[in-house]
């Protein structure tokens, strides 16, 4: 069952005459207890998308259109004594669907404050540098608990903070240390512990392993995996490294220029990639398990998101361009193996889908995308 359904979401930043179209018509869904990966190059809109879910966009950012339906068991139903807040439930204006899902996009500031931490917790990009240097790490977790559960006695919050640290592999006594006494991996774990403080339904981890060495990266990923299993929490992981994502995700979405180019079950997206951009991205990262002789980067740079034109976002860097690619950005086509007539638009965001007009020529594209000269030719054509 879906915990989150995002439909046709567009987010912009107001920067003057033209807006930055940071996220453009994105649709995806995350099930309860699922790990969903969002991958793509720097600047493609990953952080914007993640932060928009809990209205933490920069002040010039805004949701232009779209829906973000979230499973209805939100803390707004309770007051500080855990009693239902009837006046809100009875409000006809409240954005609740018949099945109990709530549209996060329509919540006001007070309502979304209830959702943050208690329902959806964010581990922000570069979070480990954000621990406050002048407070003990344990106190920072206690503060997070008390801010969202003010009725909890301090001693109980203190014990919970120590338990949480222990849960992520840090000795409870280290709660009395300051952040500078922690290693990079410990800081990242402490931030994960803090995010879990209120047992959220969903954890958003924005680049949780960037800046960590490979061994620590692996441990952090294992940690997230274990938390997901133990607490049945859904995790939205954001990364630019598709190999990292292939390790831990159930579902994967590949973003480029504010659009989802390919999405679906991780295995299918990673092993039977169906979009030229995914194929290019895979070439440029070392895989953990398979042998790979050399890395091939995608020549060129991502498109401007300032008022983008309506052609395929990848058109300037794609080695497989045909005339149709210049007409408009492709819809999401279903990717099904071996069937004739497979070029049909697919609605279910959990199935394997690709935004590419050449979805019927996958085998050729896969073979060609593995060759360095294919990508070099793109540069020469430009
Ligand atoms: N406050 C802002 N004002 C204007 N443009 C912004 C703002 N914040 C982000 N952007 C732009 O929006 C686009 C998406 O940015 P975002 O940070 O979401 O990308 P990202 O995929 O998370 O990148 P990275 O991998 O570098 O973290 C980029 O073009 C970025 O320059
Ligand atoms: S639609 Fe065209 S430009 Fe876009 S990814 Fe497919 S082949 Fe490349
Ligand atoms: Mg980011």
Give yes or no: residues 3 and 42 share one domain.
yes
Is 85 contained in some domain? no
Is 256 contained in some domain? no
Give yes or no: residues 307 and 164 share one domain.
no
d(CA 110, CA 214): 40
Atom of ligand 1 nearest to the CA of 125: 27
Give yes or no: residues 284 and 312 share one domain.
yes
CATH of residue 52's domain is 3.40.50.300
For tokens 């000795």, the residue is 171
Give yes or no: residues 114 and 37 share one domain.
yes
> Is the minimum distance from the CB of 319 to ligand 2 under 6 angstroms?
no
d(CA 238, CA 22): 15
Q: Whose CA is nearest to atom 29 of ligand 1?
A: 43
Give yes or no: residues 224 and 237 share one domain.
yes
Span from the CA of 46 to the centroid of ligand 2 (angstroms): 21
> Is the minimum distance from the CB of 312 to ligand 2 under 6 angstroms?
yes
Query: Which of 260, 298, 308, 312 to mutate for ligand 2's pocket (most ligand atoms within 8 Å of CB)?
Result: 312
Instruction: Give 60-73 pLDDT, tens digit per residue.
Output: 999 999 999 998 56
Is 87 contained in some domain? no
Give yes or no: residues 310 and 226 share one domain.
no
Query: Which of 311, 330, 345, 360 to mutate for ligand 2's pocket (most ligand atoms within 8 Å of CB)?
Result: 330
Instruction: Give 257-303 pLDDT, tens digit per residue.
Output: 999 999 999 999 999 999 999 999 988 776 655 555 567 788 888 99
> What's the domain count of the chain?
3
Domain's final residue, options 160, 178, 199 = 199
Is 178 contained in some domain? yes
Give yes or no: residues 101 and 175 share one domain.
no
d(CA 269, CA 36): 12
Give yes or no: residues 376 and 295 share one domain.
yes
Give yes or no: residues 20 and 138 share one domain.
no
Give yes or no: residues 315 and 206 share one domain.
no
Tens of pLDDT along the chain (382 residues)?
799 999 999 999 999 888 999 999 999 999 999 999 999 999 999 999 999 999 999 999 999 999 999 985 655 455 555 555 544 444 556 678 888 788 999 988 878 887 888 899 999 888 777 799 999 999 999 998 998 888 889 999 999 999 999 988 899 999 999 999 999 889 988 999 999 998 899 999 999 887 777 777 888 888 888 888 888 899 999 998 887 888 889 999 999 999 999 999 999 999 999 999 999 998 877 665 555 556 778 888 899 999 788 899 999 999 999 999 999 999 999 997 555 556 788 889 999 999 999 999 999 999 999 888 998 877 555 5
Give yes or no: residues 172 and 215 share one domain.
no
Contacts for 200 with CB less than 8 Å, ≥ 6 apart: 117, 118, 119, 120, 121, 233
- Give the residue numbers spanning the domain of 114: 1-75+95-119+201-249
> Is the minimum distance from the CB of 48 to ligand 1 under 6 angstroms?
yes
Atom of ligand 1 nearest to the CA of 258: 14
Give yes or no: residues 162 and 27 share one domain.
no
d(CA 165, CA 157): 12
N-term to C-term CA, the chain: 46
d(CA 216, CA 226): 15
Nearest CA among 266, 226, 200 for reference residue 37 = 266
Is 134 contained in some domain? yes
HSE (side-chain half, CA atoms, 13 Å) at 114: 18
């Amino acid at each position: 069952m879906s915990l989150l359904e995002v439909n046709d979401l567009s987010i912009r930043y107001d920067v003057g005459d033209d807006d930055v179209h940071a996220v453009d018509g994105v649709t995806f869904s995350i099930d309860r207890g699922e790990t969903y990966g969002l991958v793509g190059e720097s600047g493609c809109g990953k952080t914007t998308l993640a932060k928009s879910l809990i209205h933490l966009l920069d002040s010039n950012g805004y949701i232009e259109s779209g829906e973000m339906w979230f499973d209805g068991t939100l803390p707004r139903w309770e007051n500080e004594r855990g009693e239902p807040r009837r006046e809100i439930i009875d409000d006809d204006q409240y954005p609740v669907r018949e099945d109990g899902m709530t549209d996060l996009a329509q919540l006001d500031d007070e309502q979304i404050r209830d959702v943050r931490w208690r329902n959806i917790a964010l581990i922000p990009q570069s979070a480990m540098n954000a621990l406050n240097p002048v407070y003990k790490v344990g106190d920072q977790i206690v503060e997070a608990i008390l801010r969202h559960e003010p009725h909890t006695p301090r001693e109980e919050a203190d014990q919970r903070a120590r338990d949480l640290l222990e849960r992520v592999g840090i000795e409870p006594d280290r709660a009395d240390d300051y952040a500078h006494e922690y290693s990079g991996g410990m800081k990242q774990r402490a931030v994960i512990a803090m995010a879990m403080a209120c047992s959220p339904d969903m954890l958003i981890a924005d680049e949780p392993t960037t800046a960590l060495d490979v061994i620590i990266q692996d441990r952090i990923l294992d940690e997230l995996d274990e938390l997901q299993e133990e607490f049945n929490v859904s995790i939205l992981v954001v990364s630019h490294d598709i190999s990292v994502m292939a390790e831990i995700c159930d579902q994967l979405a590949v973003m480029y220029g504010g659009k989802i180019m390919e999405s679906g079950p991780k295995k299918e997206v990673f092993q039977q990639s169906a979009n030229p951009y995914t194929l290019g991205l895979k070439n440029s990262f070392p895989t953990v398990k398979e042998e790979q002789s050399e890395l091939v980067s995608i020549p060129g740079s991502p498109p401007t998101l300032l008022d983008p034109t309506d052609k395929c976002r990848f058109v300037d860097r794609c080695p497989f361009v045909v005339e149709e690619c210049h007409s408009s950005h492709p819809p999401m086509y279903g990717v099904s193996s071996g069937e004739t007539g497979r070029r049909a638009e697919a609605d279910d965001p959990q199935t394997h889908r690709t935004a590419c007009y050449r979805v019927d020529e996958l085998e050729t594209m896969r073979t060609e995308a593995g060759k360095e000269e294919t990508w070099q030719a793109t540069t020469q054509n430009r």
